[in-house]
């Protein structure tokens, strides 16, 4: 036994392979992770990733940590002078890149004074007359038509309407709670009485879908933020289900879970466009046009600007004031002199 130990002692030490160090996550994966930690929306995630990739390719695939304010200014100025993007588009790109440096790379760029700014456009929103709104709503059909009526009747943004859950509708108080709206703010709006019967019927049919999903083990729904970890069974509860659920299942791009999502926004966008065509409306109509029309028609009916601001969820009344410029009163409410004479 001692001899064996002696021979073993003379052996060369065995080289043990140390496990390779874990590779740091790729830059875009770091951006995704940070966006999700901060609970930004999927559309914001997609938009920020687009502009960050555009910025990197613009500078010949250089890593952002090797660039700084000068390169950011050059890129944003290029967007304004060469690509001639709108001011809002340039601002969107700037926020994406500032997010990259501040939130992901931990670099403060400060105020970018040398950027050539895109000239802001002052365009009035497209607003339907009440007659046009009536014709458009009459040309809608089925569940997309119910969504369209709800958007016009409440002033909700498209995604606010599609993300409504069963628990957000209070039929007794005739009100809807809009959760996680723009700026991650909650607010209340009215539930139009004319929509109640069709909405009740739709929710009853949606309950039958849910019962079938429970029976097949497919009743999971996406929950906001970390609620799924905190309440693991809530994703199958009726109150959390989307009211306007898709007819089929799809794979969640973030979690990889196969579940029933809400109707895709493009379905409603196409439906509004087609309804406007059938109704003979020549104005460019899209779901947000219904929100503009809702606000304008309330002001025409005599509701005060603060009430409309609260219903729309605007943080600044100045944003709501734009609708006072499109009221049905002609040019700033002025009567033309030609209308005061008899020809």
297-336 residue pLDDT tens: 999 999 999 999 999 999 889 888 888 877 655 555 666 6
8 Å CB contact between 52 and 28 = yes
Q: Is residue 278 part of a domain?
A: yes
Task: Report residues of the chain scoring pLDDT below 70.
Answer: 1-22, 111-116, 226, 327-336, 338, 342-343
Q: What is the CATH number of the domain that holds 40?
A: 1.10.150.130
Q: Is residue 124 part of a domain?
A: no
Q: Assess whether 93 and 140 both reside in one domain.
A: no
Active site residues: 157, 182, 288, 291, 314, 323
Q: Assess whether 58 and 152 both reside in one domain.
A: no
Tokens 């890129």 sit on residue: 75
Q: Is residue 2 part of a domain?
A: no
Q: Is residue 73 part of a domain?
A: yes
Q: Is residue 6 part of a domain?
A: no
Listed residue (131, 130, 164, 128) closest to 146, CA to CA = 164
8 Å CB contact between 228 and 221 = no
Q: Assess whether 77 and 140 both reside in one domain.
A: no
Residue where a domain terminates, one of 104, 120, 154:
104
Q: Assess whether 31 and 171 both reside in one domain.
A: no
Q: Assess whether 199 and 99 both reside in one domain.
A: no
Q: Assess whether 82 and 152 both reside in one domain.
A: no
- For the chain, the residue count is 343
The answer for 217, left when phi > 0, alpha when psi is -120 to 50, beta otherwise, is: left
Q: Assess whether 96 and 142 both reside in one domain.
A: no
Question: Residue 89's domain spans which residues?
Answer: 27-104
> In the prediction, which pLDDT does 6 show?
47
> In the prediction, which pLDDT does 1 show?
45
Q: Is residue 176 part of a domain?
A: yes
> In the prediction, which pLDDT does 2 show?
47
pLDDT in tens, 226-284: 677 788 888 999 999 999 999 999 998 777 889 999 999 999 999 999 999 999 999 99
Q: Assess whether 93 and 237 both reside in one domain.
A: no
Q: What is the CATH number of the domain that holds 198?
A: 1.10.443.10
Q: Assess whether 74 and 145 both reside in one domain.
A: no
Q: Assess whether 310 and 216 both reside in one domain.
A: yes
- Nearest 5°: CA angle at 292, between 290 and 297? 90
Q: How many domains does the chain have?
A: 2
Whole-number Å distance between alpha carbons of 257 and 322 = 43
Q: Assess whether 146 and 92 both reside in one domain.
A: no
Whole-number Å distance between alpha carbons of 214 and 25 = 38
Q: Assess whether 80 and 134 both reside in one domain.
A: no
Whole-number Å distance between alpha carbons of 193 and 176 = 12
Q: Is residue 54 part of a domain?
A: yes
Q: Show Cβ contacts of residue 15 under 8 Å, excluding neighbours closer than 6 positions.
A: none
Q: Is residue 335 part of a domain?
A: no
pTM comes to 0.78
């Amino acid at each position: 036994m001692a001899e064996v130990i002696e021979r073993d002692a003379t052996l060369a030490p065995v080289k043990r392979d140390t496990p390779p160090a874990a590779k740091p996550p790729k830059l875009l994966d770091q951006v995704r992770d940070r966006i999700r930690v901060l609970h930004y929306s999927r559309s914001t995630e997609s938009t920020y990733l687009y502009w960050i990739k555009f910025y990197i390719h613009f500078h010949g695939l250089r890593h952002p940590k090797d660039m700084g304010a000068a390169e950011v200014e050059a890129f944003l100025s290029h967007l304004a002078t060469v690509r001639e993007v709108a001011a809002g588009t340039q601002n969107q790109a700037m926020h994406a890149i500032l997010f990259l440096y501040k939130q992901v790379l931990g670099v403060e760029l400060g105020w970018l004074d040398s950027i050539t700014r895109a000239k802001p456009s002052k365009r009035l929103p497209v607003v339907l007359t009440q007659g046009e709104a009536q014709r458009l709503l009459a040309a809608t059909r089925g569940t997309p038509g119910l969504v369209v009526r709800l958007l016009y009747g409440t002033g909700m943004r498209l995604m606010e309407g599609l993300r409504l859950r069963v628990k957000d509708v209070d039929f007794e108080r005739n009100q809807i709670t809009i959760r996680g709206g723009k700026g991650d703010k909650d607010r209340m709006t009215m539930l139009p009485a004319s929509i109640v019967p069709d909405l009740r019927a739709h929710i009853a049919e949606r309950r039958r879908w849910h019962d079938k999903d429970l029976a097949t083990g497919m009743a999971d729904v996406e929950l906001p933020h970390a609620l799924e970890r905190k309440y693991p069974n809530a994703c199958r509860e009726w109150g959390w289900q989307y009211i306007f659920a898709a007819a089929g299942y799809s794979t969640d791009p973030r979690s990889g879970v196969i579940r029933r999502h809400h109707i895709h926004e493009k379905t409603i966008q196409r439906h509004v466009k087609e309804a406007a065509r059938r109704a003979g409306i020549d104005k460019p109509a899209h779901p947000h046009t219904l929100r503009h029309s809702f606000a304008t028609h309330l002001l025409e009916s005599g509701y005060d600007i603060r009430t409309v601001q609260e219903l729309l969820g605007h943080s600044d009344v100045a944003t709501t004031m734009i609708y006072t410029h499109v009221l049905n009163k002609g040019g700033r409410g002025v009567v033309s002199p030609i209308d005061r004479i008899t020809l």
